[in-house]
Amino acid sequence: MKKITLLIVPALLIAFGPLAHASVESGAHQFKEDVKSAGRQTGHAARDAAHAIGDGAKSAGHAIADTSKRGYHATKKWVTGEE
């Protein structure tokens, strides 16, 4: 009985070896895909933030230019006495 038990244990280990390897390989592949997905999402978030900052700066620049233009024309009218 002891001999049979001693022979069954290595046989089971040999039989389940490829299954364990497949499980580790599957886990590694899933980890790789998760890392790629997280990197992609981080890149998209950075791009969106940069676009938002650029759009805000553009809007601020246009507002300043518009205000300056109105101020210039108002001052010109005041100096020349035009109504």
pLDDT in tens, 14-57: 666 666 666 667 778 888 999 999 999 999 999 999 999 999 99
- Please answer whether residues 40 and 33 qualify as being in contact, where contact means their C-beta atoms are separated by less than 8 angstroms: no
Judge if pTM exceeds 0.85.
no
Alpha helix (H) ranges present in 1-83?
2-80
The least confident of 9-13, 29-33, 39-43, 61-65 is: 9-13
Would you say residue 6 has pLDDT above 90?
Answer: no
Averaged pLDDT for residues 2-12: 68
Q: Which residue has the higher pLDDT, 41 or 12?
A: 41
Q: Residue ranges per domain, the chain?
A: 53-83
**How remote is the C-alpha of 30 from its chain's centroid?**
18
